[in-house]
Amino acid sequence: MIGMAKPFVGEEEIAAVVEVMRSGMLATGPVVTQFEKAFNDYIGAQHGVANVNGTTALHVALLGLGIKEGDKVLTTPFTFIASSNSILFNRAIPVFIDIDPKTYVIDPDKLEAYLEKHYDSSMKAILVVHLFGLACDMPRIMKIAERYNLRVIEDCAQSHGAEIDGRRAGSFGDAASFSFYPTKNMMTGEGGITLFRNGDEAALGRKYVNHGRVDQYLHDVLGYNYRMTSICAAIGLEQLKRLDGFNSRRRANAAIYNESFASLDAIDTPFVPAGYTHVYHQYTISLKQGDRNDLQKYLADKKIGSAVVYPFSMNEQPFYKGVCEYDDVSIAEATSRRVLSLPVHPMLTPDEVQTVASAVTSYFA
């Protein structure tokens, strides 16, 4: 089976973990600090706070920026549920803004139009999601945020190394979060990191990660046990060295698909605006013709994996009724019915990439 993901663990990662285990310092320690600095420097941010996964990283970002009960956070409905759940963790209110039909990320025009029509003082932040490996239009979004005095959080769980004109996703907003789950562009086994622009907010975020601790037994905020282990950080340091190579292979695989599918009128391939560097966490096509379920079955019969990411919009989640706000998110809803992601990970062989490309082409032929 040609799978959707295949995490790579090399001898360097194994040796780094063994070194930590022999040191006896398995929980948070100097290796975590080293990873925080290395990843922070790679992105070009100011302050990094490592924690246990991408969801906690989002939660810590919102906590560090002071998002509280009743605050409204504008975000996308076309994403994994963790993005908007993190808003609910703070008893805040997700406000869903529709997506751009070409990029699948939050549409700045619709964001601006919603604010012009509905803005009130309860709106505190914009949480953008850089989806499938493509960054949102951050220069435009930052201008909108400045006009309305809104904080900006970047959910970068799928965009490690994505760029806009050479500047990396995660370096634009007031805070950013990354996931290091095994299927991501780089991994730590399980882990996350929150990046902050402001040092005081980063210090507050670090408190929340460690039980709200001021001293060993003194706590001045309600915190959590979100600490990253040294074992995870050791894996992350080695994976970070590989990240650019991993992303290059993802782009090379995507380029083969783009060339193979160029003549297919039945699908749209991923759109990349000028000046943007896509890192293809997912290679997602959108069907203009044909039946998605039928295509998935056709691929599965040929032992090719695929995934629907995501099958419906967040406003359609049963427990979101009555806890979120939105006007029109019809593009997100329609897009969720048409998209299909194909294997693009860096462990694919050239023959496997060609097999996937040929199968999709033959289906529509």
31-69 tens-digit pLDDT? 999 999 999 999 999 999 999 999 999 999 999 999 999
Paired with 99 in beta bridges are 106
Q: Which residues contact 213 (CB under 8 A, 6 or more apart)?
A: 207, 219, 223
Say yes or no to pLDDT of 141 above 90.
Answer: yes
pLDDT of 28 higher than 90: no
Mean pLDDT of 329-346: 98
**pLDDT tens, 67-92?**
999 999 999 999 999 999 999 999 99
Burial class (CB in 10 A: 0-12, 13-18, 19+), 129: buried
Task: Give the pLDDT band (50/70/90) at residue 120.
Answer: very high
pLDDT for 87: 98
Calculate what percentage of the chain has a pLDDT beyond 90.
97
Does 183 have pLDDT greater than 90? Answer: yes
CATH number for the domain formed by residue range(s) 242-364:
3.90.1150.10
The residues, any chain, with a CB within 8 Å of residue 256's CB and separated by 6 or more, are 353, 354, 357
Q: What average pLDDT score do residues 345-353 get?
A: 98
Angle 199-209/54-64 helices, nearest 10 degrees?
Answer: 130
- Identify the CA nearest to 159 among candidates 40, 75, 247: 247
Query: What residue spans in the chain does CATH classification 3.90.1150.10 cover?
Result: 242-364
Provide mean pLDDT across the span 94-107: 98
- For the packed helices 230-261 and 350-364, what is the interaxial angle rounded to 10 degrees? 40
Is the pTM for the entire model greater than 0.95?
A: yes
Summarised one tens digit per residue, pLDDT across range 247-282 is 999 999 999 999 999 999 999 999 999 999 999 999
Domain with CATH 3.40.640.10 in the chain: 11-97+105-239
Percent over 70 (pLDDT), the chain:
100
Please state the rounded mean pLDDT for residues 206-230: 95
CATH topology of domain 11-97+105-239: Aspartate Aminotransferase; domain 2 (3.40.640)
